[in-house]
Chain A
Amino acid sequence: TQLLEQSPQFLSIQEGENLTVYCNSSSVFSSLQWYRQEPGEGPVLLVTVVTGGEVKKLKRLTFQFGDARKDSSLHITAAQTGDTGLYLCAAGGTSYGKLTFGQGTILTVHP
Chain B
Amino acid sequence: DAGITQSPRYKITETGRQVTLMCHQTWSHSYMFWYRQDLGHGLRLIYYSAAADITDKGEVPDGYVVSRSKTENFPLTLESATRSQTSVYFCASGYEKLFFGSGTQLSVL
Contact = CB atoms under 8 A, between A and B. Distances in A.
Nearest to A97: B31
A103 B40 contact: yes
Interface residues of A, number: 22
Contacts of B96: 48, 96
A48 B94 CA distance: 14
Given A97-B95, A98-B48, A42 B40 contact: no
17 contacts: A1-B59, A4-B42, A40-B102, A41-B102, A42-B100, A42-B102, A42-B103, A43-B43, A43-B90, A45-B98, A48-B96, A88-B42, A96-B95, A97-B92, A99-B45, A99-B98, A100-B59
B75 to A, nearest CB: 17
Interface in A45-102: 45, 48, 88, 90, 95-102
Contact of B43 (A44, A96, A101): A101
Interface string A9-30: 0000000000000000000000
B100 A44 contact: yes
Contacts of B43: 43, 88, 90, 99, 101
Contacts, number: 56
Contacts of A41: 102-103
Interface of A: 1, 4, 6, 40-45, 48, 88, 90, 95-104
Interface residues of B, number: 23
B101 A48 contact: no
Interface of B: 31, 33, 35, 40-45, 48, 58-59, 90, 92, 94-98, 100-103
A97 B99 CA distance: 10
Given A1-B59, A97-B31, A99-B98, A42 B45 contact: no
